[in-house]
Structure 1
């Protein structure tokens, strides 16, 4: 096992422009700092999620020509050098859907979901730190991605999942050699079980919510859009939000590009939630800066974003507000109809992954240029109407 102090030493042969010393983390709520290279997974004071003290400068468009065709082409913006464990993640296609709306096909990732963007960062970090074990908790896609990249990195991995997780996702996690811990209860019960295990010595908690490296992986979604659109971004970015990892990553990338003078204006961020479990949308409607009241768990086809108490709620609400965007909710009938509609266009997407198309396909954002992510493959869950709800 690599000592955490040793892990902070510079690497050799790192990609030019990428830091070789791990940056510190800090708590956005109270400012508590955590040294780079530590296995500490949450704020030691309040136990909240961490952010990374890392403010990169992206390369100009012309400098990207000829670089590796994966998310690692944005080396200047990533807190780790390109790892040997890469599966070529990133650089997914951008296709027109209808009118001003285009879709980024992130279900074409190696494990068939956008979570690969963040999972490769977590596995690369874990490999550098050398823990005895890696654990993760997930309703499916994040756990699958972490399991795959840990297999690639030769890391011992256990994934905690809630009872009722799609059998197809469980099969995929197990196929990568990870141990499964099925927790009786909902998504939050699963997270609590994983966090208890995460405090054991020698454990790396590959949390896509707590660990800020995950956000610096998901932000490459926007860097790719910027490159594919010739150095600009659309009027609006519409993203599904449960724990908010894609939205917060998008906000990071937008800030980086704007600060560097590579975009003249920032796009509006629109967050999509299932109407059945929409705590952030409820807070937005009330004008609150944080969650209001309790949101009960309820059945929904959009299981991947059914998070009653997202830990980064304040950050999500602030990011949407600062962008001039808003929140949209979709019903179960709208989700099912959107999944059928995309399938009729040749795109078979899982029920959570169609939520953004469900929100905008009838013209909710007017004639503004808009991009939606299609986040996971339909093979992971099947058709919405066939799911047990």
Structure 2
């Protein structure tokens, strides 16, 4: 197999990893060329967390930036009502240093970029992505600047500020914020790292997906070195869908599993462009949703996400606000205090069982991505409590 390289999946063009870049020269999002995958002897048994799968990465950093992320619990619980009640496996990805699954991508992306000489990174996010980048930049002695919409509640940025990130308020919408980050980021073809800030976006950089793919490896190990039947994830920009597609694809290529699990993307009906496209529905303008962490109106890797879902034999679910709220409360009643964004995956399981797409006896993993502490106001509203 050839050396890993940046890949434009839409044209097949490649570029060497030796020159840091976050997109193609025409502005297209990139992935990496296929990697061989990891076999059981390649796991670093003495390492706890996701860095035990370091041999599956495109290159190994001399000193990873790590805070013990990964190794999140996989809890077996009953889920559902009446005849639809059955066992599910809940992957508690919110039990990470910054409180969300995005630590998987941040630890790998920033470790690999620092190895390439990057010391100052730019990100645009008012939520979990910005918190994760701020966390690992601080841990790695790197500088971080986070662009957020000017309308963002200060409560959403206090975590990043406390970690030392510079917060820049951008007038306008979330898209205006993303556009400002694109304008401030370095040349897509890569600059001398000493010349300025590098756009290390969790939505754009393919190294981030090399971190999220470790979820697949961890589930494989959690389940006794076999693949689950189904994996359901909340989906905004699609990094968990793509990461699972990459990771399970590597395991299949390496002969460690005999089939891919079916991947299902859960999105709010108020803002679900990926699910709408998968289901053949026309685009619709976005509206407000309690699942705000997945309210991304223009996901940049839409074709790749749809292809990943289809190749797995999975699908997508559009969820009403009442379904998301009910799942949030029902999870909390079992001691699983997550943000409504995460609860979409559990709501999707209920819907998929009701429709007969997933059987009660199948091994189904529900990925819970963010802590309820990040959505205190939403939980207060659901409970009818004034803050």
Verify same fold: TM over 0.5.
yes
- Structure 1 Cα separation of the partners of residues 153 and 225 of structure 2: 39
1:161 pairs with 2:148:
yes
Alpha-carbon contact 1:111-1:148 (below 8 Å) kept: yes
Distance 1:386 1:22, change over 3 A: farther
1:321 pairs with 2:310:
yes
* Match of residue 301 from structure 1: 290
Given the alignment, which residue of 324, 328, 344 partners 1:355? 344
After TM superposition, the score normalised by the length of structure 1 is 0.87
Alpha-carbon contact 2:8-2:31 (below 8 Å) kept: yes
Deviation at 1:166, TM superposition (A): 5.1
RMSD value, Cα:
2.2
1:265 pairs with 2:259:
yes
- Give runs of aligned pairs for residues 215-294 of structure 1, distance below 5 A: 215-286=209-280, 293=283
Distance 1:237 1:357, change over 3 A: same
Deviation at 1:150, TM superposition (A): 0.6
Distance 1:298 1:22, change over 3 A: farther
* Match of residue 345 from structure 1: 334
- Give runs of aligned pairs for residues 175-214 of structure 1, distance below 5 A: 175-199=162-186, 201-214=195-208
* Match of residue 336 from structure 1: 325
Distance 1:185 1:385, change over 3 A: farther
1:78 pairs with 2:28:
no
Given the alignment, which residue of 366, 370, 380 partners 2:374? 380
- Structure 2 Cα separation of the partners of residues 181 and 140 of structure 1: 14
- Structure 2 Cα separation of the partners of residues 37 and 147 of structure 1: 25
* Match of residue 4 from structure 1: none
Distance 1:168 1:378, change over 3 A: farther
Distance 1:131 1:387, change over 3 A: farther
Alpha-carbon contact 1:49-1:209 (below 8 Å) kept: no
- Structure 2 Cα separation of the partners of residues 386 and 197 of structure 1: 37
For structure 1, the residue ranges without an aligned partner over 5 or more in a row are 1-18
Alpha-carbon contact 1:357-1:372 (below 8 Å) kept: yes
1:106 pairs with 2:85:
no
- Structure 2 Cα separation of the partners of residues 258 and 73 of structure 1: 19
* Match of residue 29 from structure 2: 49
Q: Could you tell which deviates more after superposition, 211-220 or 198-207?
A: 198-207
Deviation at 1:275, TM superposition (A): 0.6
Deviation at 1:385, TM superposition (A): 5.4
- Structure 2 Cα separation of the partners of residues 232 and 187 of structure 1: 40
* Match of residue 3 from structure 1: none
Measured against aligned partners, the alpha-carbon deviations of 1:304-339 in whole angstroms (never above 9, x if no partner) come to 111111110000111111111111111111111111
Distance 1:257 1:93, change over 3 A: same
- Give runs of aligned pairs for residues 359-374 of structure 1, distance below 5 A: 359-361=348-350, 363-364=353-354, 365-367=358-360, 368-374=362-368
* Match of residue 83 from structure 2: none
- Give runs of aligned pairs for residues 80-95 of structure 1, distance below 5 A: 80-81=59-60, 83-95=63-75
Deviation at 1:122, TM superposition (A): 1.8
* Match of residue 148 from structure 1: 135
- Structure 2 Cα separation of the partners of residues 161 and 332 of structure 1: 25
Deviation at 1:137, TM superposition (A): 1.1
Deviation at 1:64, TM superposition (A): 3.6
* Match of residue 48 from structure 2: 69
Deviation at 1:22, TM superposition (A): 8.3
Distance 1:132 1:236, change over 3 A: closer
Measured against aligned partners, the alpha-carbon deviations of 1:259-295 in whole angstroms (never above 9, x if no partner) come to 11111121111111111001112211228xxxx64x4
Given the alignment, which residue of 158, 161, 168 partners 1:174? 161
Distance 1:157 1:65, change over 3 A: closer
1:118 pairs with 2:97:
no
